Structure 1
């Protein structure tokens, strides 16, 4: 029986490597986002003389949106890989290694994720308000409601995380 248990635990432990292709897929998603970013940026340059100030601001906010999502993917890939798959031992002494790498736990990762979602939602909401003439009051109301839901969810999660940390 001990042999079966040991074998099962080995398979279970090794199964963490099934996440490696997922993280590689996120790298490919970043390539797609880079293409999207480039398209948006070149579009802004093409319209620089004909676009209104609002259109340029909305375009820049779209670039910021993509950058935030890419930053979020980096955090998820690095911390997820190190927390759940394998330590990046060869990179611990690399001079360009970010200081936060290896120090973000699962709870910190969730807080960063929620914070990024709130920031992205806020940018989308700002873009919507700058383009409000194309949206109905109902659509804007739903967007505000969803953003407020994200905001309160983030605040509640942060409060629960803080309370749980004080209890240990």
Structure 2
């Protein structure tokens, strides 16, 4: 009975696979948004101000960071929680694949979220007239919370690794 329960629990990790496949499909959303933003930027290039071009580029960067974040979750999550991805001999294999543990994934995720938040905040500051003081204050506060969360996660991982080394 014990082995059967453990086998069922171990096999249950495959219930996550459809979620990662769903994230692969969801990558089409930032791709569509990117193509749309790029199309708008190119079409208005001759009449756009430098301010509008910078905001357009920030939108493109933001969308690519979101797609990178999703891809990172797909690869690292799948490898950490479902199964190893067997592409070791593939020429385009990403260096970090198979080497990002859960702690590393957390730090990479929060770093991506901080970058995305920073771009959103920069966009708001560049269009300061479009936002109320309250909106700017909340955007800044939220960004600071993301930054502090990243620092605290990194500190926790550092302290955990240091304590683990002392035990051995």
Q: Report the TM range for the smaller structure's normalisation.
A: over 0.9
TM-score (norm 2): 0.95
Among 17, 21, 26, the alignment partner of 2:18 is: 21
Task: Name segments (4+ residues, structure 1) moved above 4 Å.
Answer: none
Which of residues 132, 137, 140 in structure 1 aligns to 2:136? 140
RMSD: 0.8
Q: Indicate which of 3, 6, 12 corresponds to 2:3.
A: 6
Structure 1: state its 5+ residue gaps: none
The corresponding residue for 2:46 is 49
Tell me the equivalent position of 2:150.
Answer: 154
Shift of 1:139: 0.5
Output the CA distance in 1 between the equivalents of 2:155 and 2:29: 35
* 2:27 aligned partner: 30
In structure 2, how many angstroms separate the alpha carbons of the residues matched to 1:100 and 1:22?
Answer: 21
Q: Which runs of 5+ in 2 are unaligned?
A: none
Partners of 1:33 and 1:71 lie apart in 2 by: 10
Secondary structure, counterpart of 1:142 in structure 2: helix
Aligned length, in residue pairs: 164
> Residue 104 of structure 1 is aligned with which of 100, 103, 123?
100
TM normalised by structure 1 equals 0.95
Q: Please name the residue that 2:110 is paired with.
A: 114
In structure 2, the partner of 1:74 is: 71
Residue 83 of structure 1 corresponds to 80
